[in-house]
Structure 1
């Protein structure tokens, strides 16, 4: 099997390794190098780094909707193109170029959470299960028929960063178990129920703002879902406060208006929510380093009676 690979971030790397073990890969496509770090030096995406280690050809087109790029894909004479978190919508000319078209590894249980950020939104919305779907790509946004769905549970305290790692490993398993069967025609793709579809839009910084009027479980899910981008945040005495880790407090009685710090001592920090309260485990004041809740209390950054988000 000759298979192209489209992917960019770290979650895509295990699938690339799995594909490399079962197929000839004439070309890997990822997004261009981007400035990163304090010095804003150009940094290659994880997929490019791994592909070069494997001795594979890499292309990083600025645009994919061009005749030249479609011609490049067609000239590889590939049986299939495997896509996972590439980050751009592929035009019909590219989708149709490989013999069996393009197949996508999507990190949700379709038709739920179509779009750019399925992992984050699944956690934020309190889902207790997610997975990876192998699907045939069409011109829509994750609307193509699905070959297989592999499911895993989402732990009550699992963060988006942790789930990325788990789903990356699961995607590699899907490649090993299902891709050859899909390409050969042994698997038949089933149409999605479009009426049941939900969306997972691209994340923006403002999505991280905490709404303390929500129940404690929803606030906790928001914090872990926004880890580490864009990051959950609120305000504290007029300054920004990143909320890095929380727990749902064991006692869930009403103790104050939403956002009120109801306890701040050596035992920790509790914040009232619309229903119940959360325990703040770790935070970071604007311009400061990350600190435990106890350290924030010792430095008087958090005090009982303070209202976060005011």
Structure 2
């Protein structure tokens, strides 16, 4: 089958690799190269890096809505278009063009968590299960018919990164199954229960700020759901303090306010009072410094009892 692949980040690479082993990848669409923030050196997307290594034609249109882009797709004439974390809305004329349509690998169990950050959102919401959905692309965001799903538990020790890395493999496996079914004419579709849909917008910086008035469970899920990206943070002495790990603590401290450093536990870290107990700061990164463990924060006298994280 002649497949045009659209994708950008690392999450998409296993899917592309799986398809390349069995099908003719006639080209990849990926986002335009951007300079990195430090040296202004242009950094290729992971999908582009893979395409270069495997001699796959690369296209990086600024927009999918132009006549030139549509003419290019008509010239390539794919049997199927596969989209995995491309980061662009697909217009209807492209959706309707390929013989076998256009399908997407979405990193949630739809209709839950439609939108841009479903992996983060599932952990932050305290979900016990996540997965991927292979679906037809429709004009409405993540609302197409479901072809296949793959599931995985969300473990207490999971972070965004560990769940992301598991889901990208599950996504590739289920995509392989779905494409085989589509080619054989055996693929079945299931209409989503649209009334059960939930949506996730891209996280802005302000959305990553820890609310110490929440419960220890909510803060624990929030921090790990943001680890390592886009990263939960708080303020200490008017400077940004990134928080990569916390541990739930049942102990309730009667004195002090939520967000206050109320104790330290040898070998673990400083303790912060929260709504229904407390949490231990087990991995943090002070502004303009390296990430350190909770144990090292005690050894370095990073906090004083009574200081309040804002």
- Shorter-chain TM-score category? over 0.9
Give the Å deviation of 1:253.
2.7
User: Matches of 2:169 and 2:261 in 1, distance apart?
Assistant: 39
Mapped pair 1:304 → 2:305: yes
**Root-mean-square deviation (Å):** 1.3
- Of 116-125 and 292-301, more deviation after overlay is shown by 292-301
Preserved CA contact (<8 Å) 1:247 1:278: yes
1:127-164 deviation line (CA, Å, top 9, x unaligned): 11110111000111000000111100111121111111
Render the CA deviation track for 1:268-300: whole Å, top value 9, x for unaligned.
211111112111111111121111122222322
* Structure 2 gaps, min length 5: none
Q: Is the 8 A contact 1:131 1:149 kept in 2?
A: yes
Contact (CA 8 Å) 1:264, 1:302: kept in 2 or not?
no
Deviations 1:82-132 (A, max 9, x none): 101000101111111211211000000000000011001111111111101
Which runs of no fewer than 5 residues in structure 1 stay unpaired? none
Give the Cα separation in 2 of the matches to 1:276 and 1:73.
57
Structure 1: 4+ residue segments shifted above 6 A = none
Mapped to 1, the partners of 2:223 and 2:163 lie a distance apart of 14
2-structure distance, mates of 1:252, 1:62: 54
Could you say which residue in structure 2 is the equivalent of 1:49?
Answer: 49
- Tell me, in whole angstroms, the C-alpha distance in 1 between the residues paired with 2:276 and 2:100: 51
User: Aligned residue for 1:109?
Assistant: 109
Q: Specify whether residues 100 and 252 from structure 1 end up closer, same or farther in structure 2 by C-alpha distance, changes over 3 A only.
A: farther
Counterpart position of 2:171: 171
- The 5 A counterparts of 1:1-310 are 1-249=1-249, 251-255=250-254, 256-264=256-264, 266-267=266-267, 268-309=269-310
Distance 1:95 1:188 in 2: 18
- Structure 1: distance between partners of 2:251 and 2:301: 25
Does the CA-based 8 Å contact 2:253-2:262 persist in structure 1? no
Alignment length (residue pairs): 308
1:23-56 CA-partner distances (Å, limit 9, x unpaired):
1011111001111152021100000000111110
Paired with 1:5 and 1:17, the residues of 2 have a C-alpha distance of 11
* Contact kept in structure 2, 1:266 and 1:294, CA below 8 Å: yes
What is the CA-CA distance between 1:10 and the residue it aligns to?
A: 0.3
